[in-house]
Chains A and B, each alone.
Chain A
Amino acid sequence: QKEVEQNSGPLSVPEGAIASLNCTYSDRGSQSFFWYRQYSGKSPELIMFIYSNGDKEDGRFTAQLNKASQYVSLLIRDSQPSDSATYLCAVIVDGNKLVFGAGTILRVKS
């Protein structure tokens, strides 16, 4: 079992819709969770982090964490074509290093 798992997609949503991206992780001791956005040919860019169970909102982005289910999600409201990218879920493992999922490709169609 991989440490961080994501559906590779692509996930296609129409412009203005809500995009929902999901991630599961295997290390029950993990405390810190991150979402990165990566455009083609570019490096990852941090967009959200969450440490506590529940929801955390920042603009059009909401991160959701459920430690009991070992599940993290990212909601993007009012999706725009510029949101089209690969979204990487990442988890701090062993208290020391960030482990990434393979990423979910999001396509927002105008």
Chain B
Amino acid sequence: DTGVSQDPRHKITKRGQNVTFRCDPISEHNRLYWYRQTLGQGPEFLTYFQNEAQLEKSRLLSDRFSAERPKGSFSTLEIQRTEQGDSAMYLCASSLTGTGVANYGYTFGSGTRLTVV
């Protein structure tokens, strides 16, 4: 297992286009998280899944954003009708979390850098 993988690494798109990012977590991890990070800020929580269930969505996540984890393995994050303000690094992370399991933090992927022009 080589860790958390994200694809693509970079994406340049025109305003108004739709984009989709993919994340493959560490295989034995049951939770998957999406964060967004802009320059000079820490990562901001967007949403997370436990197995295939989406358990929480941030108020930051407008209705143009949708995330899925259909079989409890990889996840996709789609942004519809992109805006320049969507330009950011989109980070995926995974963890093994549960009752009686110590939380050792999240492992992050390399991120997808989105530029909307």
Partner-B contacts on A (CB < 8 A): 4, 8, 32, 34, 36, 42-46, 49, 51, 88, 90, 92, 96-103
User: Is A98 a contact of B105 with CB atoms below 8 Å?
Assistant: yes
Is A102 a contact of B45 with CB atoms below 8 Å? no
What residue of chain A has the Cβ atom nearest to residue B97's Cβ? Answer: A96
Q: Does the CB pair B110–A32 fall under 8 Å?
A: no
Closest to A96 in B: B56
Instruction: Report the separation of the CA atoms of residues A42 and B103 in the bound assembly, to the nearest whole angstrom.
Output: 23
Given contacts A46-B105, A97-B33, A97-B56, contact A102 B111 (CB under 8 A): no
Looking at the assembled complex, report how far the CB atom of A44 sits from the nearest CB atom of chain B, in whole angstroms: 5
Asked if A99 contacts B91 (CB within 8 A), the reply is no
A36 to B35 alpha-carbon distance, docked (Å): 15
A43 to B34, CA, bound (A): 13
Contact B108 A45 (CB under 8 A): yes
Cβ contact within 8 Å between A102 and B42? yes
Chain A residue, CB-CB nearest to B93: A98
In the assembly, what is the distance between CA of A49 and CA of B106, in Å?
11
Answer yes or no: B43 CB below 8 A from chain A CBs: yes
SS class, residues of chain A in contact with chain B? strand
- Report the interface size class on chain B: 20 to 34
Q: List 12 A-B contacts (CB under 8 A).
A: A4-B42, A36-B105, A43-B91, A45-B108, A88-B43, A90-B42, A92-B103, A97-B45, A98-B45, A98-B93, A102-B42, A103-B41
In the bound assembly, the distance between CA atoms of A23 and B55 in angstroms comes to 28
Residue of A nearest to B95 (CB): A98
Taking CB atoms and an 8 Å cut-off, the chain B residues in 7-44 that contact chain A are 33, 35, 40-44
Q: Which residues of chain B have a CB within 8 Å of any CB of chain A?
A: 33, 35, 40-45, 48, 55-56, 89, 91, 93, 102-111
Cβ–Cβ < 8 Å partners of B89 in chain A: 43
Shortest distance between the CB of A21 and any CB in chain B (Å): 13
| Known pairs A32-B105, A96-B56, A97-B48 / 5 extra A-B pairs, C-beta < 8 Å | A46-B105, A97-B33, A97-B56, A100-B35, A100-B44
Given A96-B48, A97-B45, A103-B42, answer yes or no on A43-B33 (Cβ-Cβ < 8 Å): no
Complex CA gap A43/B23 in Å reads 14
